[in-house]
Amino acid sequence: MSPASDGAGGTPLGHFDSIADVAAGLKKLDYVADDTIAGVVYLADRLAKPVLVEGPAGTGKTQLAKSVAELAGSRLIRLQCYEGLDESKALYEWNYRKQLLRIQADQSASSWERLEEDIFSEGFLLTRPLLEAIWVDEPVVLLVDEVDRVELETEALLLEVLSEYQVSIPELGTVRATRVPLVFLTSNNTRELSEALKRRCLYLHVDYPGLTREREIVRRRVPGISEELADQVARIVRSLRTLELRKPPSVAETLDWARSLVVLGMEAVDAVTARDTLHVLLKYQQDIERAAKELLAGGA
Amino acid sequence: MLDLLSGFVAELRAAGLPVSLTEHIDAGRAVHEIPLEDRSALKAALGATLVKSGAHWGAFETAFEIYFAPRRGAAVPGEDDAAANVPEGGAAAADVSGEGPARGRSGGGGNVLSAEELAAMVLRAVRTGDRAVAAVAARHAVERYAAMEPGRPVGGTYYLYRTLRHLDLDGLLHRLMEEERTASTLTALEERLLADEYRARIAALRKAVEAEIRRRLVADRGAGALARSVRRPLPEDVDVMHATGEELAALHRALRPLSRKLAVRLGRKRRHGRRGPLDFRATVRRSLSTGGVPVDPRFRHPKPAKPEIFVIADISGSVASFARFTLQLVYAISAQFSKVRSFVFVDAIDEVTAIFERADDPANAVRRVTTEADVVWMDGHSDYGHALEEFDRRWGGDVTSRATVLVLGDARNNYHASGAWVLEQLQHQARHLYWLNPEPRQYWGSGDSILDEYAVHCDAVVECRTLRQLEGFVAELA
């Protein structure tokens, strides 16, 4: 075992009792998890390891972290990644204005050594999400969203936090987590993440759901939808995904579509309604045309 | 358990998955945390700790099914409660066939059903979508049709083929749809949805048959031996020229995210590359805060020239699938190049740039290229010499010193004249001239391949048989 995962990553966090417990709990919060998702969340809790969630956009990766936070009764701390994210935005920064004020206020009195000690103390530190997550003394779920957007070099910032749950600050020493947070990283797979990062995480691939799960999701997340309509929506979406589209409909879009059907007061989807509302589901004109042709104009 | 796990990890590594020691240890810890009798939990645990890429999931699944196949008797994978009503399902199926319930009840045993009974059961499995019935039907079907011979070192595809041929699932779909159509009038939409539903159920049945065959093979020959015979290369390592239909489909799926990834990576490389020339104005402005001393020199953002690309692709039968992939990839990332022009040839050459520019989807465009381009001159066999000469005559002047020329082909010239002087001239005109060959290196220059004659004029000749090699080359190029 590498010394990295030897550190804090051994003791179970103890939020959940069993896989079934996770699945049932998430379901209560209207997040329909399949066996794999529930299993990996449970393992993350037991092994105290971060989870790297990968998959197409709009399949509920971010929502998973939010729901788990709610389930575990933890605060959600979120770090949205983007190109150009750096240390001072992700980890910590010294509040230099406050430091300057402190120096000016103190000009005559104390010796420089004491002053230096003072201005590099915790009171002058601005915590950013990663440090915040291990600093606070309450259960926390840390969500590092769209981690594939940062540059390869910035990824390295995450490594220490992810494997040992600590942050080293040169002036202050090492800050260790008092409570190990549950960490989720999401990625849309626009680039290959580094081996080092992947090795430290449990990997969870979230794909488009199957028919039964999608139906369940629609029923739970769209208030006032009838059993039949939910079924029909899920079936149509499944058929659409078998076509070769530029962007197959995601779960988020399925939900949008189901909601608009409910708002329009539809009891069932027929060809005309489907054609008129297809733009909610598909985002490219060419896809819409194709779907209309394949699905609605017959020819099975 | 730990021995089994080590064997499993060794198999994954042999299949090409990069499993590190840390990951192996994590997997060992993970299986301690879950109830071992729960197969889906075990799969989640091993998948999460050992597989770190969506593209490798398929290989993992194959190995998992073999190493952790449910033992005989535990009927349906992952559905213990469904196993309880299996005999009932079998009996009901027998009812449908009109033979009385007595025979069906012994379904789980060695008793072989008649062909009609089996067909009825299959029909029932598809019509109701009951997975327990499907599993029983699969078991009987394999029993009856696969005619498995113990000890033969095969992967089971042949048994699968034999079983499925007897079940005639396509015909079944057709019959069911006919039935539905006569029973009630369906709109186009309903019909389509129904067909998709049946298709999904038939796919499930096919999976059940596969699982059954695999289970028997494991029982016969042991997991390790079977895993060796069904091992498949990962999508990025599949040889494009010799890919099966299924592998080609997987490659196509892999190509789209790959081109997106490449585009992102190349864009980044451009913007974050080395620093550009000194920005004099900005440096002077900056120096004001240091009393006019230019302590902090500023640089312009680099604007590296985007290369112009000429792709000249052989699309004769022997290398067609390779050329299609390369064209598709080049076009998918064409935003990274200032201009891409493409030419295809067999024994005559034609420009197809316009087809790509008009099409929204590169896959579509490639399909059209093969039908619309005017590439046959004499007999429709590759003639590099004639094609190159014609290229030089018609478009040779367009190749400037900013251009990079890619020639895709196996250089199998059917003993025509080589026309290598065109390449010599192109090499002088263009910035770079590369030759991508989809053949393994050891075949170069053998038989009617005259690659050696061309190679002396190229900056590099690259073996480009798999997606991984292609990706590497394109990243290098831009």
User: What pLDDT is recorded for position B457?
Assistant: 87
Summarize the confidence of residues B250-257 as an average pLDDT. 68
User: What pLDDT is recorded for position B336?
Assistant: 63
User: Between B97 and B353, whose confidence is greater?
Assistant: B353
Q: Which of B68, B40, B75, B76 is nearest to B218 (CA)?
A: B68
Task: Give contacts of A 84-143 with B, CB under 8 A.
Answer: none
Residue B344 pairs in a beta bridge with B313, B350
Q: What is the CA radius of gyration of chain B?
A: 30
Confidence label for B243 from pLDDT (cuts 50, 70 and 90): low
User: Between B129 and A232, whose confidence is greater?
Assistant: A232
User: Between A119 and B338, whose confidence is greater?
Assistant: A119
- By the CB < 8 Å criterion, does B259 face chain A? no
> Cβ contact (<8 Å) for A189 and B54?
yes
User: What pLDDT is recorded for position A248?
Assistant: 86
Residue at A175: amino acid letter: V
A55-59, A66-70, A103-107, B126-130, range with greatest mean pLDDT: A66-70
- By Cβ distance, the residue of A55, A242, A244 closest to B196 is A242
Residue-wise pLDDT tens digits, B443-465: 887 888 888 888 888 888 888 88
Domain B253-273+305-477: homologous superfamily in CATH? von Willebrand factor, type A domain (3.40.50.410)
Three-state secondary structure of chain A:
CCHHHHCCCCCCCCCCCCHHHHHHHHHHCCCCCCHHHHHHHHHHHHHCCCEEEECCCCCCHHHHHHHHHHHCCCEEEEEECCCCCCHHHHCEEECHHHHHHHHHHCCCCCCHHHHHHHHCCHHHEEECHHHHHHHCCCCEEEEEECHHHCCHHHHHHHHHHHHHCEEEECCCEEEECCCCCEEEEEECCCCCCCHHHHHHCEEEECCCCCHHHHHHHHHHHCCCCCHHHHHHHHHHHHHHHHCCCCCCCCHHHHHHHHHHHHHCCCCCCCHHHHHHHHHHHCCCHHHHHHHHHHHHCCCC
User: What pLDDT is recorded for position A109?
Assistant: 66
- Distance, C-alpha A152 to centroid of its chain: 19
- Per domain, the residue ranges of chain B are 2-68, 80-230, 253-273+305-477, 277-304
Question: A–B: how many Cβ contacts below 8 A?
Answer: 129
Confidence label for B272 from pLDDT (cuts 50, 70 and 90): low
Residue-wise pLDDT tens digits, A246-258: 788 999 999 999 9
Backbone angles phi, psi at B121, to 5 degrees: -65, -40
Residue-wise pLDDT tens digits, B429-441: 888 888 888 888 8
Is the pLDDT assigned to residue B385 strictly greater than 80? Answer: yes
User: What pLDDT is recorded for position A38?
Assistant: 92
Residue of B nearest to A198 (CA): B52
Q: Which two tokens stand for residue B423?
A: 């390449």
> Cβ contact (<8 Å) for A19 and B23?
no
- Distance, C-alpha B417 to centroid of its chain: 37
Is the pLDDT assigned to residue A143 strictly greater than 90? Answer: yes
Residue-wise pLDDT tens digits, B170-216: 777 788 878 777 777 777 777 778 888 888 888 888 888 888 887 77
pTM of the full predicted structure?
Answer: 0.73
Confidence label for B154 from pLDDT (cuts 50, 70 and 90): low
Q: What percent of chain A has pLDDT over 70?
A: 93
Task: Give contacts of A 21-60 with B, CB under 8 A.
Answer: 35-36, 38-40, 42-43, 46-47, 49, 51-52, 54-55
The CATH number for A3-85+128-205, chosen from 1.10.3720.10, 3.30.450.40, 3.40.50.300, 3.40.190.10, is 3.40.50.300
Indicate the range of A67-81, B120-134, B278-292 predicted with least confidence: B120-134
Indicate the range of A126-140, B236-250, B307-321 predicted with least confidence: B236-250
> Cβ contact (<8 Å) for A298 and B188?
yes
Indicate the range of A172-176, B156-160, B176-180 predicted with least confidence: B156-160
- By the CB < 8 Å criterion, does B22 face chain A? yes
Residue keyed to tokens 């990706």: B471
Cβ-Cβ contacts under 8 Å, A42 against chain B: 33-34
Residue-wise pLDDT tens digits, B279-294: 888 888 888 888 888 8
- By Cβ distance, the residue of A1, A151, A238 closest to B22 is A1
> Cβ contact (<8 Å) for A199 and B18?
no
User: What pLDDT is recorded for position A10?
Assistant: 53
Confidence label for B299 from pLDDT (cuts 50, 70 and 90): confident
Confidence label for B471 from pLDDT (cuts 50, 70 and 90): confident
ipTM metric: 0.82
User: Between A264 and B316, whose confidence is greater?
Assistant: A264
CA distance A52 to chain B (A): 9
Confidence label for B98 from pLDDT (cuts 50, 70 and 90): very low
